[in-house]
């Protein structure tokens, strides 16, 4: 009740009492009705004002736009309304500053190429950078929804739920075929507000590389173990058994072949280790024709021994590169053609098209199309080569592929099982 209405109320009460003492019933009744009417109007007005104040508080809570209270003198709520107006002004300033900070934080986070998002303690996502788009549900656009409405992976959701209670430390999580390392931190903004910062590091390539390295090392140990156990077995026999000279010779030959197998393996391992993670190569001028001819010259005992019919069609083509590695690449493929097509035909051609193109084609055992993608993997050998006496290491084509890549080229394979195989090496050429 404001001062004016309090005064009016007081006057009405006094007038009612005076009318009562004057025994003027009509006046008494009139003033009494006026008091009741006054009370009802006043109550309604108070209720209305209280509801306006409560609406304003709700708007403040929801950060909605607010229409300032017009302050009327003698209004009993004037102090509350005044405080509310001040509060709104201050919080508007704070909200604007906060939204500016949030938008520049979002811009900064967007520069990061790893998913980062910030939630409040209840799990509402306040900011999520662009890299999070790979992790979120397709139809979800808004931030400011809860993490379980935003992300789709159950595994990730479990981890986020955990992060709301305690920091998550270097935990692996798989989302959509990728592997991430997750970390989260709690940060207090002020005495009341706390946020959770969640960071995901994509470690898929790193993990795959580690797995490959582990597999590679275990394959190397396995490859070394086999000849070593043969040699140690043969040594035991030579030490303990009474053998004839020819039997001894037989065992020594077996040792020799295993030693040479280990030698070959060590040599190829050295080359592969050297080029595996290399990005650059020496750039010397290489005449591919000379290169092929010198390789065939070194293999001529083989060609003669098995009576190959060798067809050559070689143009003069030059490339820039590492001549040792290029020779190694061609030699591995030519040796395979000779090894796996004993006694048949081998065609080698060299020409210039969009690329320098070397084709090495045999009509030997060939391989299934499904095996084509695997033969370049380290130590991958098919049945026909595993069973061969003195078969290769399974590293030759791995080296060849890497060398082609280092020369900005590639190798394609056309093969039919039982009919032979053609390897086509393509690399950029230079003018003669």
Interacting residue ranges for ligand ADP, rule: CB under 6 A: 332, 336-337, 340, 362, 364-367, 375, 380-382, 384-385, 391-398, 421
Compute CA distances 311 → 315, 355, 380, whole Å: 13, 22, 29
In the complex with ligand ADP, the residue whose CB is nearer, 143 or 422, is 422
Contact present, 317 and 355 (Cβ < 8 Å): no
What is d(CA 109, CA 65) in angstroms, rounded to the nearest whole number?
A: 29
Minimal distance in Å, beta carbon 412 to ligand ADP?
Answer: 13
Nearest to 15 by CA among 3, 2, 33, 1: 33
| CA–CA distance, 282 with 279 (Å, rounded to integer) | 11
Q: Which is nearer to ligand ADP, 143 or 328 (CB)?
A: 328
Residue with the two structure tokens 């000849």: 227
In terms of CB distance, is 167 or 273 closer to ligand ADP?
Answer: 273
**Which residue, 271 or 337, is less far from ligand ADP as judged by CB?**
337
Output the smallest distance, CB 432 to ligand ADP, in A.
Answer: 30
Nearer to ligand ADP, 357 or 422 (CB): 422
Least distance (Å) between residue 124 CB and ligand ADP: 56
Which ranges in 195-344 belong to alpha helices (H)? 204-240, 245-276, 288-298, 300-306, 323-340
CA distance 266 to 264: 6
Please report how close the Cβ of residue 203 comes to ligand ADP at its closest, in angstroms.
30
Q: CB nearer to ligand ADP: give 109 or 272.
A: 272
Distance of CA 303 to the CA centre of its chain: 50
What does the longest C-alpha to C-alpha distance in the chain come to? 155
> How many Cβ atoms from other residues are within 10 Å of residue 220's Cβ?
18
CB of 411 to ligand ADP, least distance (A): 11
For the CA atoms of 295, 297, 301, 305, the dihedral, rounded to the nearest 10 degrees, stands at 80
Smallest separation, CB 385 to ligand ADP (Å): 3
**Which residues share a beta bridge with 319?**
286
Shortest approach of ligand ADP to residue 249 CB, angstroms?
27
Pick between residue 233 and residue 264 the one whose CB is nearest to ligand ADP.
264
Q: How far is the CB of 208 from ligand ADP (least distance, A)?
A: 21
Sign of the four-CA dihedral 368, 372, 373, 374: positive
Q: Is the Cβ of residue 118 or residue 411 nearer to ligand ADP in the bound state?
A: 411
**Residue nearer to ligand ADP on the CB measure, 396 or 409:** 396
What span, in angstroms and rounded, lies between the C-alpha atoms of 59 and 83?
Answer: 15
- Name the percent of the chain in helix, strand, coil, to the closest 5: 55, 20, 25
Name residue 360's beta-bridge partners.
348, 423
Minimum Å gap between C-beta 300 and ligand ADP is 19
């Amino acid at each position: 009740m404001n001062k004016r209405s309090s005064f009016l109320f007081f006057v009405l009460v006094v007038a009612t009492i005076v009318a009562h003492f004057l025994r003027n019933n009509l006046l008494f009744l009139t003033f009494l009705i006026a008091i009741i009417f006054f009370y009802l109007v006043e109550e309604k007005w108070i209720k209305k004002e209280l509801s306006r104040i409560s609406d304003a508080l709700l708007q403040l809570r929801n950060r909605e736009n607010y229409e300032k209270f017009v302050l009327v003198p003698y209004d009993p709520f004037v102090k509350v309304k005044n405080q509310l107006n001040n509060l709104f002004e201050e919080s508007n300033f704070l909200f604007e500053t906060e939204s500016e900070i949030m938008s520049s934080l979002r811009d900064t986070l967007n520069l990061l190429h790893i998913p980062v998002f910030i939630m409040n303690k209840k799990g509402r996502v306040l900011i999520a950078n662009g890299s999070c788009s790979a992790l979120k549900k397709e139809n979800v656009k808004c931030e400011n929804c809860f993490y379980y409405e935003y992300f789709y992976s159950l595994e990730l959701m479990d981890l986020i739920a955990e992060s709301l209670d305690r920091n998550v430390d270097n935990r692996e999580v798989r989302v959509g075929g990728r592997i991430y390392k997750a970390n989260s931190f709690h940060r207090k903004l002020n005495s009341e507000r706390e946020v959770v910062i969640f960071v995901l590091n994509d470690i898929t390539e790193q993990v795959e590389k580690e797995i490959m390295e582990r597999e590679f090392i275990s394959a190397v140990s396995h490859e070394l173990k086999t000849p070593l156990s043969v040699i140690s077995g043969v040594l035991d026999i030579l030490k303990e058994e009474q053998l004839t000279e020819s039997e001894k010779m037989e065992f020594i030959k077996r040792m020799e072949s295993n030693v040479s197998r280990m030698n070959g393996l060590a040599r190829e391992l050295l080359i592969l280790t050297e080029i595996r993670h290399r990005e650059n190569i020496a750039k010397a001028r290489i005449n591919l024709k000379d290169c092929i001819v010198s390789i065939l010259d070194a293999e001529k005992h083989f060609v003669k021994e098995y009576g190959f019919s060798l067809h050559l069609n070689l143009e003069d083509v030059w490339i820039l590169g590492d001549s040792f590695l290029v020779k190694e690449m061609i030699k591995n493929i030519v040796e395979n053609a000779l090894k796996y097509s004993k006694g048949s035909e081998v065609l080698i051609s060299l020409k210039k098209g969009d690329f320098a193109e070397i084709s090495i084609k045999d009509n030997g055992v060939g391989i299934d199309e499904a095996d084509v993608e695997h033969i370049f993997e380290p130590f991958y050998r098919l049945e026909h080569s595993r069973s061969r006496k003195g078969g290769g290491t399974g590293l030759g084509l791995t080296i060849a592929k890497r060398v082609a890549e280092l020369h900005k080229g590639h190798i394609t394979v056309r093969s039919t099982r039982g009919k032979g195989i053609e390897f086509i090496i393509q690399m950029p050429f230079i003018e003669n």
